[in-house]
């Protein structure tokens, strides 16, 4: 049996349609349908109607649905309004982490906790976490009231140390976030609309001296977290700074927030990792 013949039979049976009924819907003989399922191929002009009746894509009829799934998601998401697109993408992420658990028997139960129907909506204070950690990689999803995050990583064959910057470079990143003055500035800049902000305004809002602001902002700029612009005014030149929205500060803060939870208990988890991460 050919791939398409096998798929036609599979989807026909799933729909509860006989060969005769399918033939009538398509305007072909029962023998014609039988011939497809035994190795023949329908004429190209029949394929759109056939896929419509069987409620599958033409790619699926040819066994290519796995290859085209990512493309289908991308096309669908791109056509949605931004708010709907993010919610749909998060629903897909929820499906991914459920699937990575590798337990077919529990998929339906956990999928009933889809973000749109999540237990989170019944508990306005609780944070729920789903985690999957294995020798292949890890996935982590957080479901909180009006706050969802997702992280997915496939571990490099030789561990993360082969792709990460050296420890000193990494330490400098955490050094910035550990500095109270830096954090005050970062929180202020991200709380404002994304536009250049003068040193004087940052100083007024954080209580730090202008010279201290410029010193801190220099370090942020050196680490690609902000950019500096010098503006000419009637009173002379002033420094202004623009926070870089494409940096990873916000994800880092979200993960740091997870680490602050005192009673962190994933409501769903799968852990079978025996290899070293680094």
Q: Going edge to edge, which strands form the sheet with 236-243?
A: 197-198, 236-243, 226-233
Question: What Cα–Cα distance (Å) separates residue 151 from each residue in 106, 129, 170?
Answer: 22, 11, 19
Put residue 16 in one of left, alpha, beta given phi > 0 → left and psi -120 to 50 → alpha: left
DSSP-derived secondary structure for 210-260? HHHHHHHHHHHHHTTSEEEEEEEETTEEEEEEEE-TTSSHHHHHHHHHHHT
> What pLDDT digit, counting tens, does each position of 138-163 carry?
999 988 777 889 999 999 988 898 89
Nearest to 246 by CA among 197, 194, 183, 203: 194
CA distance between the termini of the chain: 48
Q: How far is residue 10's CA from residue 180's CA, in Å, rounded to a whole number? A: 62
> What pLDDT digit, counting tens, does each position of 178-222 carry?
999 999 999 999 999 999 999 999 999 999 999 999 999 999 999
Confidence of residue 265 (pLDDT cuts 50, 70, 90): low
Residue 239 φ then ψ, to 5°: -90, 140
Q: Which of the listed ranges 15-24, 32-41, 154-163, 208-217 does the model predict with the highest average pLDDT?
A: 208-217
Q: What share of the chain is helix, strand, coil (3-state, %, to 5)?
A: 55, 15, 30
Could you tell me the two tokens for 27?
């305007």
Residue 66: its pLDDT value, please?
53
Q: Going edge to edge, which strands form the sheet with 137-144?
A: 147-154, 137-144, 128-134, 268-272
In the predicted model, is pLDDT for residue 109 greater than 80? no
Residue 41: its pLDDT value, please?
84
In the predicted model, is pLDDT for residue 275 greater than 80? yes
Neighbours of 118 (CB within 10 A): 17
- Top-confidence residue, 109 or 8: 8
Residue 63: its pLDDT value, please?
74
């Amino acid at each position: 049996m050919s791939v398409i013949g096998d798929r036609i039979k599979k989807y026909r049976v799933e729909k509860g349609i006989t060969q005769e009924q399918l033939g009538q819907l398509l305007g072909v003989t029962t023998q014609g349908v039988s011939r497809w399922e035994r190795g023949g191929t329908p004429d190209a002009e029949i394929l759109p109607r056939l896929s419509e009746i069987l409620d599958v894509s033409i790619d699926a009829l040819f066994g290519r649905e796995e290859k085209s799934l990512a493309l289908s998601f991308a096309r669908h998401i791109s056509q949605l309004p931004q708010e709907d697109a993010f919610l749909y993408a998060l629903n897909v992420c929820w499906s991914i982490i459920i699937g990575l658990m590798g337990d077919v028997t529990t998929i339906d139960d956990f999928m009933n906790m889809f973000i749109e129907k999540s237990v989170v909506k019944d508990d306005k204070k609780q944070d729920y976490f789903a985690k999957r950690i294995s020798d292949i990689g890890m996935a982590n999803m957080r479901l909180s009231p009006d706050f969802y995050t997702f992280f997915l990583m496939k571990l490099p064959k030789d561990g993360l140390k082969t792709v990460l910057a050296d420890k000193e470079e990494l330490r400098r990143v955490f050094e910035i976030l550990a500095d109270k003055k830096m954090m005050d500035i970062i929180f202020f800049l991200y709380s404002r609309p994304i536009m250049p902000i003068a040193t004087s305004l940052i100083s007024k809002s954080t209580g730090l001296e202008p010279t201290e602001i410029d010193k801190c902002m220099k370090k942020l700029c050196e680490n690609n977290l902000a950019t500096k612009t010098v503006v000419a005014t009637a009173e002379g030149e002033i420094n202004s700074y623009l926070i870089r929205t494409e940096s990873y500060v916000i994800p880092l803060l979200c993960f740091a927030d997870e680490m602050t939870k005192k009673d962190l208990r994933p409501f769903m988890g799968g852990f079978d990792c025996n290899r070293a991460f680094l």
